[in-house]
Structure formats: structure tokens, C-alpha cells
Structure 1
Amino acid sequence: MPQRWEQTPMVALDLEGSGSQDHDDEAILEIALVPMAVGRPALDQGWHSLVNPGRRIPRRPWTSPGLTNEILAQAPPWNAVEPAVRDRVQAAIIVGHNVRVDWRLLHRRSPRLRPAALLDTLRLARYVHGNRTGKSLTALLTEHRLTEQVNALVPDGQPHRALWDTVAVTLLLPALIAVLPSRGDTTMAELVRLAGVPMDGENVAPGPQEQLTLGF
């Protein structure tokens, strides 16, 4: 029998970086991982950390709020954080919003990491909504009336910080699946077909009609 999507363990991911303008020197500044169990966030198993980039980061308009050089200087470096990330990511199904951006940076910093699959809520939202609504994470949360729930689950967080955005993804994914034609009968194979993206970084993801064969 095909495996239903909520029966498959997944982990939501978000990270904040110094910016793609740094090219190969782009640094991870914050990362969060929240497992999903039975289609819901397992917050008691969630994990997040600031990351010391080992250098001063110029303040830019897109720098996430609160990630100052003074705060980051007190955080552990990436090599101290990486084992915890590896334990949670290796061979896992990762879900994120515009997840290729996060994966590109994570893979650059830890090239040996290899998840089982990448699922993108942005890609799924484009399939569900077309051009009817905004595609940013905050716009989609508003569309699905999820913002207050995220704020309640992460009372000390805010948008564009890793833990807040990661928890947001864990709520947005089932909300998007709920309006698919298959709804409660969505299988993992169908979800991979609709929301899966390749792990080779820069390539354009295939369209919803193109099957990604990942063994589900």
C-alpha cells in the first residue's frame, strides 16, 4: 500500500546566512531543525543554534533581525554545530520554504551531508495557488491563517529568524496538502512529485508533472 505522507518522518529546516553576495565565503549564522511526526511539529525534539561565522558580518538590509556581530561572537562555530546538524539531517527528508537556498548553503558548508529528499513548500504553494497569492512564507501564513499559531509556538521568535520560520514550515506544509485534490489521501510519492526539488543546488526544479523517483 502506498505510504501516506504523514506516516513518513520529516524534518523542517531553515537557516539564516550572511548572503549570497559572499559567494564561497557565505556563512551560516543561524540554523533550526524541527522534526515532524504524524504531520505535526514535534517541538520537544526541535533544535536550533546561532553560529559564529568567525568574522564580522556587515549589516545589510536582508540580515535577519537580531543577528548582530556581538551576539554571533558568543555562539559556537560551525564545526562545533555540525555534528548535531548531521545527526538530524543525514538520510532524512528535509522540508523548507524555498529549500534549495538553504540546501545550497548547507551543502557548501557540509558537502558530505546527503538527505533522502528535499521538499519545498514554495514549490507546493505555486502548485496549489498559482499566482493568486504571495509566495513569501509570511504571505502564505497569512493566507492560511497560521501566523498566530506560529507566534504562539515560538513566543520569543519572529519572522526571518530560523526557529520561527522552521516552525512556520511545519504548519504550512499540512495546510497546503489539505487543499490538494487528494487531501487526506496524499501519498509520500505524490508529495515528492509535487514539492520535491533536486539536490544538485543550482538546477531548476522539475515541473509537477515530472516524477522524482525516491523509493516511496
Structure 2
Amino acid sequence: MDFRTWPPKLLVVDTEGNGASPPDLIELAAVPITAGAVRPGAIRQTLVRPPTPVTPLATSVHGLTNQDLAIAPIWETIAPVVRADLDGAWIAAHNATVDYRLLARLLPGWEPTGVICTLRLARARRPDLPRHTLDALIAALPVSLAGVAGARHRAAFDAHTTALLLLALAQPLDTWDALVEVAVPPSLRLGSAVEQQSLW
């Protein structure tokens, strides 16, 4: 892979929700990739106090409780900073339509430069695997998580892990355009309607 062909601003994102429908954001992380490398020191992560309580089902997945979020900022206070971070960026995520839909709903008028889905990429690159969850890919790919802080199902950990998996899955491809060809969901191509999916 020629990482010189990659965009200068690429952020791997992960969101966690409160279990409502549609979900309220309770945690967001963004991990920059520059010149084919993750920049751990530049990872941004924040908790968000939602307008409605976290459901027990959601807590059972990511471990975040209403008490954890009691003193977190509300979305309106951090939205301008998040928009500034995301403006002009390609974003990547695992099952990216879910994260894109949530962020687009919270940031009216915002559109990323493009969206890469590592789930779609993994299905194309590793059709031999029976499952393509983050856990399945962690087990199947030669990716070390030694430097990844946090725990599974928390936004910073999942975004950092997804970034490492993206780099591993992209290695055999020649250029960014080749990656885009297999990793951009049809529903997120220019002019398409975004399909409906769910988030915890």
C-alpha cells in the first residue's frame, strides 16, 4: 500500500449510545491516521451526558452508567469542537453507517469527505472468515493491541483497534482509490440514501 495516496485527514471514529431509539450519543472517540500510522497521542475521546437515561441493555454492552455520565458535558457544549475536528475529514469506522448516521443527525449540514467501512473491507479482504466482528478480526489478523488503552466496547479502545485493523486489511491494496473501491458502502456513496441500522 502506498500511504502517500491516502488523504491528509483520516479519522477512525467510534460512538457509543444510550440504547434509546434513535440513540443518544454518550461517548465519542476519533483516532487520526497519518502516513500509514496511528497517532495515539492525538486520540480524542469524550463522554457525553445524554438527554435520556442509559438503558440497562446498553450498560451491559459498554459498561457506562447514568452515574458515569452525570458530570459529562452535554452535546450542545462540545458539538462545535467535534464539528471542527470532523470537517474536511474522511472518517472510518466498523459498520460505519451506524456511526455516520448518529453523527450526521447530531451535526446538521455536516458531511465527511468520505466514509470507509472496515466491516465491508474485512468481508471483501477476508471472505474465509465466518464472522467479521471486531473480536473475530482481532483473533484472525496479526494486529498487536499492546498499546491500545481502555476496554472493548469503549469508544477509544474500539476506534484505536479499528484503526489498526484498517491498516492491516489495507496492506495488500495498492492505493487509496483501490481501498475506496471495496470499503465505501454503497449507501454512503455520493448521492445515495443512508440505510437504516441500529446502535446500542
The normalised TM-score by structure 2 is 0.86
Instruction: State the AA in 2 paired with 1:78.
Output: W
Relative distance call for 1:57 and 1:153 in structure 2 (3 A) is: closer
Instruction: State the AA in 1 paired with 2:18.
Output: S
Correspondent of 2:100 among 98, 103, 110 = 103
Q: Residues 120-159 of structure 1 correspond to what in structure 2 (within 5 A)? A: 120-146=117-143, 149-154=144-149, 157-159=150-152
Q: Match of 2:170?
A: 177
Q: Which has the higher contact order (CA 8 A, sep 6+)?
A: 2
Q: Match of 2:65?
A: 68
Tell me the alpha carbon deviations over residues 111-161 of structure 1, each in whole angstroms, 9 at most, x when there is no partner: 221110000110000001114242101110111132xx324331xx11111
Q: Match of 2:115?
A: 118
The normalised TM-score by structure 1 is 0.80
Secondary structure of 1:164's match?
Answer: helix
Q: Match of 1:202?
A: 195
Q: Match of 1:23?
A: 21
Q: Match of 2:176?
A: 188
Deviates more, 1:5-14 or 1:101-110: 5-14
Name the CA distance, whole Å, in 1 between partners of 2:6 and 2:64: 34
Q: Match of 1:83?
A: 80
Relative distance call for 1:27 and 1:203 in structure 2 (3 A) is: closer
Percent identity over the alignment is: 32
Instruction: Give the unaligned 5+ runs of structure 1.
Output: 205-216
Instruction: State the AA in 1 paired with 2:142.
Output: R
Secondary structure of 1:134's match?
Answer: coil
Deviates more, 1:5-14 or 1:47-56: 5-14
Name the CA distance, whole Å, in 2 between partners of 1:99 and 1:52: 23
Relative distance call for 1:81 and 1:9 in structure 2 (3 A) is: same
Instruction: Give the unaligned 5+ runs of structure 2.
Output: none
Q: What is the RMSD computed on CA atoms of the aligned residues?
A: 2.2
* 8 Å CA contact 1:16, 1:64 repeated in 2: no
How many pairs were matched up?
Answer: 191
